[in-house]
Amino acid sequence: MLSEKLSEIGTIVKTHGFKGEVVISASFEIPENFSLPEPVFLVIEGIPVPFFTEYYYLTPPDTIRLKLDTINDREEAMKYYQCAVMLEDSFLKKFKITRKLSTLAGFIIFDENNQEIGTVIGLMDIPMNPLLRVMYKKREVLLPVGNDMIVAFDAKQKSITLHIPEGLLD
């Protein structure tokens, strides 16, 4: 049984080379001082399985190339294609993690009164003014998602509470 809670940090999107390396597309922008702990967890058939690493390379903003100690060729690495990769929450709290907006699809949006507004279906990545595309009362609305608009964010519950200016949903 795991002593720590885990959070998904990305997905294995391809193999690299012939020594069993995998490439992880991270769901956040990798901080400069980021390092991978031991172990990392791959979700296999719904169960987080610990793996130890031989080495890894970080390629900002969001790619990690990783060699796991028990995977030694490309064919073995391909078995883990599209597996989610998780780390212990206690480790992630050491870093300022900025989640990529594209990973918010499917999150539920609430207003400050805890009223459900709708589900995120996409985003418009406008510089300095990112907008979430949200289904609200059977129509799409655009909601600003700058740091000053976010009241609460819960990755585990896949929910975001936003300050929504009056009249924006009319």
Domains contained in the chain, CATH given: 6-95 (2.40.30.60), 101-162 (2.30.30.240)
DSSP-assigned beta bridge partners for residue 141: 134
Say how far apart CA 61 and CA 29 lie, in whole Å: 5
* Strand, coil or helix: 111: coil
Q: Quickly tell me which residue has 């597996």 as its tokens.
A: 83
Does 155 have pLDDT greater than 80? no
Does 97 have pLDDT greater than 70? no
Q: Which residues contact 26 (CB under 8 A, 6 or more apart)?
A: 9, 10, 62, 63, 64, 100
DSSP 8-state secondary structure symbol assigned to residue 38 = S
How would residue 17 be classed by pLDDT, with cut points 50, 70 and 90? very high
* % pLDDT > 90, the chain: 42
Does 121 have pLDDT greater than 50? yes
Does 10 have pLDDT greater than 90? no
Residue bearing the bigger pLDDT, 154 or 68? 68
For position 35, what pLDDT does the model report?
A: 85
